[in-house]
Amino acid sequence: MLRANTVPVFFRDYVNGQFNQTRRQQRTHDDVQPAKARKVAEGSFVGCSSVAPATTSDAFVVTRSFEFYLKRFLANLLRLRRVIGLVDMDCFYAQVEQRENPELWGKPVIVVQHSRQGVAGGILAVSYEARAFGVKRGQSVVEAKMKCSHLKVCHVPIGEYADKADIQKYRNASAEVFNVLNNFDSSIVIEKASVDEAFLDLTTFVEQNINKWGGDNFTSKSLLPMIPSSHVASGVDAKETDIERRQHLSAFIEACQTDDEQRRLLIAAITIEDIRKRIHEATQFYCSAGIGNNKMMAKLVCARHKPRQQTIVPWQYTKEILKMTPIGDVRGFGGKLGNRIQEKLNVKYMGDILSVNDSWLIESFPDQHEWLRALAKTFPDGVP
């Protein structure tokens, strides 16, 4: 039996919490007497001297449980140490048109695809200048021009066949962006998510460089200029002023001096600021980014301060962020599953799932109820 002085405090607390939370559901070995099994279950699991296995069978229960929680703890620790970024081009199709026609920079622009009848079809992209007038995707060109009379309309080229668009120039522009990403550093793993999005796994890069960041150069005064477009997603950052943004970043940098996990995110943020700058220098295209411990959080916070900005989400704020996040905004929940969750459970935000009765959650999602409950709190095991 492990004593309190034989395991790190953070691991002991983690295992005790997990063990106590699920002890009623633990299956004990067949030859453990019920009374003895209860005695084992009622004590703290790690670092408790008051409860020790009375028999070999009791020890089996504790050992198997310890192995289970050790594996889960290590998996979560490794997942926490991951550093993932998402780079997302801002209104990419519109920027391609603006670069092709420089007089369109700073103007309200939409990109429209021709319909099969040869008339203007749906709006594919809306520049942020056009969005300021209330122009949205899904509107017709006529509706969009009623919102903004000086709107510039760009058409996707028509391909060899009149009923098919030719998007090659957008693919070529995308290739320029990915050329920058792929040549920045070989230790950063690039995963193409779409023509205008890429996930960056910076875990190895950060591990290789973390020792370079510390000491006298690790201060707000020296680091703030290196993250000029960064925000910290804390749950109260949505409408922060620039002064508040800098204050939140300064507090984050201060925490990074004693917390290596947050320091990893900061190093990634500094690196992605540099990557985004290089993309703009090489292509003229602006982009935004999200930085977190997994793809879902990086994706979720990327749009939080668009355009031309990036957002860091420290792990301790994930629960607060998810509490006010619409279910459809979470990666993978924008389609049928997200609609089903909202309709069956009558919820709108991820945090609302926590208030759903256990029996109703199990009945509605028998194979996913534990995962959904954990997801509403923070991202559980198995989330990439």
d(CA 66, CA 63): 5
Specify whether the CB–CB gap between 321 and 349 falls below 8 A. no
d(CA 110, CA 129): 10
According to DSSP, residue 106 is labeled: T
Q: Is 191 a catalytic site residue?
A: no
Q: Which amino acid type is present at position 336?
A: K
370 HSE (CA, 13 A, CB side): 6
Which of 97, 103, 129, 197 is catalytic? The answer is: 197
d(CA 166, CA 266): 41
DSSP 116-179: TTSSEEEEEEE-HHHHTTT--TTS-HHHHHHH-TT-EEEEPPB-SSTTSB--HHHHHHHHHHHH
User: Cβ contacts of residue 275 below 8 Å, gap of 6+?
Assistant: 87, 180, 181, 184, 200
So which residues are the catalytic ones? 197
